[in-house]
Amino acid sequence: MSDKWLVGVDLGGTTTKIAFVSFYGEIVHKWEIPTDTSENGKNIIVDIAKSIDHHLDELGETKAKLKGVGMGAPGPVDMDNGIIYEAVNLGWEKNTPLKDLLEVETGLPCVIDNDANCAALGEMWKGAGNGAKDIVAVTLGTGVGGGVITNGDIVHGSKGAAGEIGHITVMPEGGFQCNCGKTGCLETVASATGVVRLALQALEESSEDSVLRSGLQTEGVLSAKEIFDAAREGDTLAVSIVDKLAFYLGLAIANLGNALNPDRIVLGGGVSKAGEVLLSPVDKYFNSFAFPTVASSTAISIAKLGNDAGVIGGAWLVKNKLD
Amino acid sequence: MSDKWLVGVDLGGTTTKIAFVSFYGEIVHKWEIPTDTSENGKNIIVDIAKSIDHHLDELGETKAKLKGVGMGAPGPVDMDNGIIYEAVNLGWEKNTPLKDLLEVETGLPCVIDNDANCAALGEMWKGAGNGAKDIVAVTLGTGVGGGVITNGDIVHGSKGAAGEIGHITVMPEGGFQCNCGKTGCLETVASATGVVRLALQALEESSEDSVLRSGLQTEGVLSAKEIFDAAREGDTLAVSIVDKLAFYLGLAIANLGNALNPDRIVLGGGVSKAGEVLLSPVDKYFNSFAFPTVASSTAISIAKLGNDAGVIGGAWLVKNKLD
The Cα of A188 is separated from the nearest Cα of chain B by a number of Å equal to: 13
Q: Mind listing the pLDDT tens digit for each residue in A151-177?
A: 999 999 998 899 999 999 999 999 999
CATH topology of domain B130-304: Nucleotidyltransferase; domain 5 (3.30.420)
Q: Does B156 touch chain A (CB under 8 A)?
A: yes
For CATH 3.30.420.40, list the domain ranges present in chain A.
5-122+308-321, 131-303
- Report how far apart, in Å, the C-alpha atoms of A158 and of each of A104, A139, A320, B47, B238 are: 28, 22, 22, 43, 35
Question: Which fold would CATH assign to domain B5-122+308-321?
Answer: Nucleotidyltransferase; domain 5 (3.30.420)
Residues making up chain B, counted from first to last: 323
% of chain B with per-residue pLDDT over 70: 99
Task: Name the residue type at position B313.
Answer: G
Q: What is the pLDDT of residue A87?
A: 83
Question: So what's the pLDDT on residue A1?
Answer: 64
Where is average pLDDT lowest: A56-65, A137-146, B233-242?
A137-146
**Are B261 and A180 an interchain contact pair (Cβ–Cβ within 8 Å)?**
no
- Its pTM stands at 0.92
pLDDT tens string B82-102: 999 888 789 899 999 999 999
Query: What are the start-end ranges of the H helices in B80-210?
Result: 98-106, 115-126, 187-190, 192-205
Q: Determine the pLDDT at residue B198.
A: 97
Percent of residues, chain A, with pLDDT higher than 90? 86
Burial A30-63 (b: 16+ CB within 10 A, else e): bebbebebeeebeebbebbbebbeebbeeeeeee
Q: Residue B1 has what pLDDT?
A: 64
Provide CATH 3.30.420.40 ranges for chain B. Answer: 5-122+308-321, 130-304
- Considering only CB atoms, B151 lies closest to which of A153, A256, A289, namely A153
User: Which residue of A159, A162, A255 is in closest CB contact with B169?
Assistant: A255
Beta bridge partners of B6: B21, B68
Which is more confident, A239 or A132? A239
Amino acid at site A219: E
Interface test with B, best of A167, A180, A251, A298 (most B CBs within 10 A): A167
- CA torsion through residues A267, A181, A254, B275, sign: negative
pLDDT above 70 coverage of chain A, percent = 99
pLDDT in tens, chain B (323 residues): 689 999 999 999 889 999 999 999 999 999 999 999 999 999 999 999 999 999 999 999 999 999 999 999 988 899 999 999 888 789 899 999 999 999 999 999 999 999 999 999 999 999 988 889 999 999 999 889 899 999 999 999 998 899 999 999 999 999 999 989 999 999 999 999 999 999 999 999 999 999 999 888 888 899 999 999 999 999 999 999 999 999 999 999 999 999 999 999 999 999 999 999 999 999 999 999 999 999 999 999 999 998 899 999 999 999 999 86
Q: pLDDT of B264-277, one tens digit each? A: 999 999 999 999 99
The CATH architecture one would assign to domain A131-303 is 2-Layer Sandwich (3.30)
Q: Write the pLDDT tens digit of every residue in A268-278.
A: 999 999 999 99
| B 114-133 residues inside an 8 A Cβ radius of A | 132
